[in-house]
Amino acid sequence: MSTNQLFYTLQIADNALILGHRISEWCGHGPILEQDIAITNTSLDHLGQARSLYQHAADLFNALSSAEKTNCFASAALQAKISKGENLTEDDLAYLRDGWDFRNVLLVEQPNKDWAYTIARSFFYDAYNFCFYTELQKSKDSALAAIAEKSLKEVTYHLRWSSEWVIRLGDGTDESHARIQEAINSYWAFTGELFEMSVVDKAAGEVDVNALKPVWLQRVTTVLDEATITVPKDAWMHSGGKDGRHTEHLGYILAEMQFMQRAYPNMEW
């Protein structure tokens, strides 16, 4: 068993956890009761996927040799557990890893700002996630294939929901059009990383994300056209998240999300 399969699983899990957390920030703040519940449901879908993936990642980690385990994470809290020979759980991976050990793409950690930015970020990611999980169903790793198959049903609904919101806002009032266009333009620069083959992606030999780009672009273009939104031109793209180089926003997310377990280790509620 190599560490690469662990990192590959974490890459997928971290996307689910961080986007799920970001979206959960809307809970109780939605623009209307019904959409508050809708977006919170979606958040729970992402967190559920993250749990399955972290459980699998923990199994992969615990099966490694002790030499391999020592070199997996730089996070001090995890190293402390590993040096004592303890097994890791899904919670350890979510709550005790520092930012540089997270492998999520930069897109999912970007702030909610307003409804338009939230929708734009979800739309870009949902369209990618739909293509990605469709391919991941063929994974050599039967656990990943099973998670992909289950998640795809949820993701299909996410994509439908976010696509409809892009169309509603784009084809709505002058103000909603201007706002969603601005959000699409702003977060466009974070879409390139989705299709970059990281070192881990290349070594995993699983989904060729680079090959997903044309399918994604066609899907996105169709929706943006219907929304009367101009598709941004290809420009310079941010990247680094898959290698653990994050924007400042991830630190704030982790501070809020991990505080309880860091301050009160092993607490349950």
Partner 1 sequence: MNQLINKNLYGDYGDKENAGGASGSHDTSSEWPLWEVFIRSKAGLDHKHAGSLHAADAQMAIENARDVYTRRMEGVSIWVVESKYIHASDPGESESMYEPATDKIYRHPTFYDLPDELKHM
Footprint of partner 1 (CB under 8 A)? 29, 32-35, 37-38, 41, 160-161, 164, 168
Q: Which residue, 36 or 196, is less far from partner 1 as judged by CB?
A: 36
Residues 6+ apart with CB under 8 A from 24: 40, 43, 47
As measured in angstroms, the least distance from the Cβ of 34 to partner 1 is: 4
Shortest distance in whole angstroms from residue 250 CB to partner 1: 24
Closer residue to partner 1, CB minimum distance, 33 or 235 = 33
Closest separation in Å from C-beta 228 to partner 1 = 17
Q: Which is nearer to partner 1, 9 or 122 (CB)?
A: 122
- Write down the least CB distance from residue 116 to partner 1, Å: 16
Q: Between residues 176 and 258, which has the closer beta carbon with respect to partner 1?
A: 176
Closest to partner 1 by CB, 5 vs 162, is 162
- The minimum distance between CB 163 and partner 1, in angstroms, equals 12
